[in-house]
Amino acid sequence: MVARPPVAIVVDRMSVDDLGAVQEIERESFTTPWPPNAYRSELENNRLAHYIVARYEDRLVGFAGMWMMVDEAHITTFAVRKAWRRQGIGERLLLALLDLAKARGAREATLEVRPSNHPARRLYEKYGFALVGVRARYYTDDNEDALVMTTQALDGRQMRDRIAALRAAVARRPDVELGDDGLPIRRAGTEAQAQGAVEGGASGGESAGGGRAVAPDVPRPNDSRRSS
C-alpha cells in the first residue's frame, strides 16, 4: 500500500555535511570503500573534482563524482543507496554529471567498471559509453580487470540526440513511490531479483563489489596504469 505521496529527487552538489551518509552508501555498495577522509580531501583539496548527490528531502540517496582532466571527464565514483535502486536515480546522477562535464568543456567522459558489474555496465551503455580498453588486474581486492568505457564526443550529434531522448524519458518517469516503511516500492526487475539472477549464474545482476576508480590516494587515471 502506498502510504505517502510520490517523492521528487533533487540533484545537488556534495558538501562535507553529506559525508556520513556517503560513507554509509559506500559501505553497502563497494567491497573496498574509499577511506572516510578520501571524500573530504576530494572536496577540500582537489580542484579537478566535482561531486554531486541525489536527495529526497533530507535523505541522501545517491552520489557520483568526476575529475575534469583537461578536456576529459573521468567518472570516479557512483552509487545509489541499495533500497533506492532501480528508481532512475542513477540516470539522474549520470545526466547531471554529463551536463556538468559538457559545461566545463569536456570532449568526452570516461570511467572504469568491473566486468562483473552488470547493472553499472548496462547504465553506462544506455548512456553511450562503449568499451575502449581493459586495465589488467586493476582492482586490488580480487585482481579483477577494469573495463575502460568512454563516450563519443559529448557535443557530437549522436551523443546530443541520445542524451536528449534519455533526458526526456527520465522526465516522463513517475516520481518515486514510498511504502509504509518509508522506502521506495520496488518495480519489477528489482535489485533483489537481479541479485538472485547473478547468484544463479545469469547476467544482469549486481556485482559483489561495485567497482569504480581506485581510491584517490593512488595514481590518477591519466597515469601509467592506463592501458588501452
Ligand X SMILES: CC(C)(COP(=O)(O)OP(=O)(O)OC[C@H]1O[C@@H](n2cnc3c(N)ncnc32)[C@H](O)[C@@H]1OP(=O)(O)O)[C@@H](O)C(=O)NCCC(=O)NCCS
Query: Catalytic amino acids?
Result: 112, 124
Cell of 185: 516500492
Which of 98, 106, 206, 216 forms a contact with ligand X (CB under 6 A)? Answer: 206
85 in contact with ligand X (CB under 6 A): yes
In whole angstroms, the minimum distance from the beta carbon of 20 to ligand X comes to 18
79 in contact with ligand X (CB under 6 A): yes
73 in contact with ligand X (CB under 6 A): no
- CA–CA gap between residue 221 and residue 108 (Å, rounded): 14
In whole angstroms, the minimum distance from the beta carbon of 196 to ligand X comes to 11
| Stretch binding ligand X (CB under 6 A), from 42-50, 98-106, 117-125, 174-182 | 117-125
* Nearby residues of 61 by Cβ (< 8 Å), 6 or more positions away: 9, 54, 55, 80, 81, 84, 89
Measured between its terminal Cα atoms, the distance across the chain in Å is: 50
Query: x/- binding map, residues 26-65, to ligand X, per CB under 6 A?
Result: ---x------------------------------------
Handedness of CA 228, 71, 124, 56 (dihedral sign): positive
The site for ligand X, by CB under 6 A, has a size of 26
Residue closer to ligand X by CB (options 119, 221) is 119
119 in contact with ligand X (CB under 6 A): yes
83: Cα separation from own chain's centroid: 15
H/E element, 68: strand 59-69
| Stretch binding ligand X (CB under 6 A), from 13-21, 128-136, 176-184, 210-218 | 210-218
Cell of 223: 597515469
